[in-house]
Structure 1
Amino acid sequence: MPSSAARLDLVDALRGFAIASIMLLHNIEHFDLTHLPAGQPAWLSGLDRYVWDAAFFLFGGKSYAIFALLFGVTFHLQFSARAARGQDFRPRFVWRMALLLAFGLCNSLFYQGDILTLYAVLALALLPMARLRDGVVLAIALLLLLQPHAWLALLRALPAPAASLPDPASWAYFGRANDYLANGTLFDVWYGNLTNGKEGVVRWSWEIGRLFQIPALFMLGMLAARRGRFALSEANRTFWQRALLLALLAFVPLYAVDGQLGQWLAAEGVRRPVSVMVQSWMKLAFMVVLVALFALACHAPAGARLLRSLAPLGRMSLTNYVLQSLVGTTLYYGFGLGLYRVTGATACLLIGIGLALLQGCLCAWWLRHHRQGPLEALWHRATWAGAGRRLAAA
């Protein structure tokens, strides 16, 4: 298999893995509608807690990070392909992100936690990075991963570390959202998500450091693509083995520290920003563990089967992400079937697995008859509107 084709297959499959795991998490949390069903037997409530903790340990904060990493990969592939033809992709990329913002706002009507709107805005940080040297891009990415906002909060807290802090601002927004998601009409959900919900998600993303981590992951994905790290080669097998070892060496102590912060740092003014830093680094390390394990699995002789099963999900990731929101919120919210009232984490996990398998089958069927998913095709045509057929197809 040519390296370029192998690289794309691995990227598609990894993106499919991220989409499937996002599906599981969103189902378990009722698509941001917080509720514990009443009247469950004790054994089921205990199992729900185990399923919740296990799912968020494995995928919470990691699936979206994989998605962001691969977003940077895709940017490099598009930018370099156009550069090889003597074209500057960046102006067209700005328009492409405006279209993604529109997709994200439509998705936000149903699911307030939509990530597409944030990606569309933060992806503009890639424009000045596209022609910078690797070392400069890496330095900027590492600076963002250090969570500068949390460091500033820590420095501000040092003169009076014992002072009590108010609750994070996002909590009030999510508290209000729970009411209209559970009891509101479809139009109540639409209005609430685009006003209260979007502001709450942006504030929350700022509070936990995602607004710094996302563009950093875009840049790291771009650098990985520059070096061809997603090609199926022996050199890359060695690279991912080393990445796995280093990520595990980082994750284990960070995980241990995170579990003890409450005892070690009693002063909330210090503990909260330190927690933001430790958790963001811990989840980043575990994300690298997942990516490395996945890449190594695909390098194995049986890896072709894994590529074939997940690549269709990844090739239709935009369609799948939006479809998840439409189906999931209809299942769980008050305007739909209201399953939030009777489903705990275990039942939601089973629903999520069923929906992910169904999506995989639908994607495989669709791609046997079409080159792209429906939203992917629409996004592509709109991206190259006015450019002429030859330029759009190049």
Structure 2
Amino acid sequence: MTTTNNSRLDVIDALRGFAIVSIMLLHNIEHFDFYFAPGGLPDWLKAVDKVIWDSLFFLFGGKSYAIFALLFGMTFYIQYHNREVRGEDFRARFAWRLVLLLGFGLLNSMFYHGDILSIYAVLGFALIPVVRLSSRWVLTIAIVLLLQPYAWIEFIQALPNPDQKLGDPASWAYFGIANDYFANGSATQVWWGNLTNGKIGVIRWSWENGRIFQIPALFMLGMLAGRKGVFKEGNQAFWRKTLLIALLAFIPFYLLKTWPEAWGIGQAVSRPLLTIVTSWSNVAFMVVLVSTFYLLFYSQAWLAIFSPLGRMSLTSYMVQSIVGTSIYYGFGLGMYKYTGASFALAIGIVLALVQRQFSVWWLARHPQGPLETVWHRLTWIGGASLIHAKN
């Protein structure tokens, strides 16, 4: 088993920071899940908005959170291995760490119901029973999960009546309710609505779109990446091969998911198949992004600009939820009424630059971000170690 020599890898910090920025940009053009197109825009600006929307979703939609999931598993492996070499078992402490993450996630969910921290916290428990399995078994389990077993069950069940008309996905009703308090609710109404109605809607949406299976699979693949040490410098040959395979897989998956009407099959069978193909397409392109980033990182020094954000990813993610919803929702500045994708992207870029500068300033004075420090100290409460974490 190959391991990393250091508990922190610069490329991981930079890649995590890259994911944070891409999430920031997507959340802004979405108005933080408040989908609203302002009226009165000139045709040329609508055209520009559409290009920006389509481009950002092509590049990052369904991929940024997947990068995060992969790196979550990678970080778990580093933490587990660092304790293992000291003769300690990290599993119980990791379980407590996940409980703490759930707390952060629920707090974040008050502001942004699309929060991923709470979902990662719950699904992260899947790593505990597999961490001592052989890599072959872990890979097998991850592949089974990536195959989207429940969607295949739905597909098989639909075969006797493939043309059956299906109703809207259950999550849509919750999101429809959310739009009302996003626009007209007070801050407390938004926070309560997000924790109740919104959270249920997001969980249902995650189930409907296969992410409940995909996320733990990516955790496990990240853990395997840690075991194999593939993110260490000198693995360019591995990542070039991985990039080629991912590209070859992505092209047919993308074509299939983009034009499902060309399949010529009924809605009852096409909906679960579309879930499967979309999931595979997103994972394939996520691997394209990760491979490309790795291959460029060691030759393009400027990519290290993402590292400070990556080292403060928990703080950065939660702050963008608080600030972003205050900008776009009705209880705040209500900018959803005025900003199409172009202006929202500009706001997102400014916020990302400010967050990055704050991260640089903070890390020049502290070894960790503020929420990272709280998470670390609470993780090791009652333990022998309260030293600052390196990962």
Q: Answer yes or no: same fold by TM over 0.5.
A: yes
Aligned residue for 1:371? Answer: 367
Residue 367 of structure 2 aligns to which amino acid in structure 1? R
**Structure 2 match to 1:311:** 307
Alignment partners' CA distance in 1, 2:149 and 2:199 = 23
- Pairing of 1:140-179 with structure 2 (within 5 A): 140-179=141-180
What does residue 284 of structure 2 align with?
A: 285
Q: Does 1:19 align with 2:16?
A: no
Deviation at 1:388, TM superposition (A): 3.1
Kindly provide the CA deviation profile for residues 344-368 of structure 1, in whole angstroms up to 9, marking residues without a partner as x: 0010011101111111111011100
Aligned residues: 388
Unaligned runs of 5+ in 1: none
CA contact (8 A) 1:333 1:340 kept: yes
For residues 104-132 of structure 1, give each alpha carbon's deviation from its aligned partner in whole angstroms, at most 9, with x where no partner exists.
00000000000000000000000011100
Counterpart check, 1:353 vs 2:352: no
* C-alpha distance after superposition, 1:133-174 (max 9, x if no partner): 000000000000000011000000001111111110000000
C-alpha deviation, 1:260, in angstroms? 2.7
Structure-2 residue corresponding to 1:258: 257
Q: Give the superposition deviation at 1:6.
A: 9.3
- 8 Å contact from structure 1 (residues 3, 232) kept in 2: no
Check if 1:272 corresponds to 2:268: no
Alpha-carbon separation, structure 2, partners of 1:25 and 1:391? 35
Q: Is the 8 A contact 2:7 2:82 kept in 1?
A: no
The SS at the match of 1:290 is: helix
Is 1:332 the counterpart of 2:328 in the alignment? yes
Deviation at 1:391, TM superposition (A): 7.6
Find the aligned partners of 1:316 and 1:224 in 2 and give their Cα distance: 22
Contact 2:22 2:60 in 1 (8 A): yes
Q: Write the letter of the residue equivalent to 2:120.
A: Y
CA RMSD across the alignment:
1.5
Q: Is the 8 A contact 2:32 2:324 kept in 1?
A: yes
2:262 partner letter: Q
Contact 1:7 1:228 in 2 (8 A): no
Q: TM-score with structure 2 length normalisation?
A: 0.97
- SS of the aligned residue for 2:35 comes to coil
Provide the rounded CA distance (Å) in 2 between the counterparts of 1:182 and 1:230.
Answer: 44
Q: Which residue of 2 aligns with 1:246?
A: 245
CA contact (8 A) 2:246 2:284 kept: yes
* C-alpha deviation, 1:3, in angstroms: 6.1
Partner of 1:207: 208
Report the 3-state secondary structure (helix = DSSP H, G, I; strand = E; otherwise coil) of the residue aligned with 2:153: helix
Q: Structure 1 residue 263: deviation in Å?
A: 2.4
Length-normalised TM-score, structure 1: 0.96
Match of 1:385 among 356, 381, 385: 381
* Matched position secondary structure for 1:117: helix
Taking every aligned residue pair, what percent have the same amino acid on both sides?
A: 59
Give the direction of change, closer, same or farther, for the CA distance of 1:5–1:305 in structure 2 (3 Å limit): farther
> Residue deviations 1:333-384, cap 9 Å, x none?
0000000000000100111011111111110111000000000000000000
Alignment of 1:44-55 (within 5 A): 44-55=45-56
Whether contact under 8 Å (1:7, 1:232) holds in the other structure is no
Amino acid at match of 2:317: Y
Contact 2:78 2:226 in 1 (8 A): yes
Q: Is the 8 A contact 1:150 1:273 kept in 2?
A: yes
Helix, strand or coil at the partner of 1:31: coil
Residues 335, 393 of structure 1: alpha-carbon distance in 2 compared, 3 angstrom cutoff:
closer
- Say yes or no: does 1:56 pair with 2:92: no
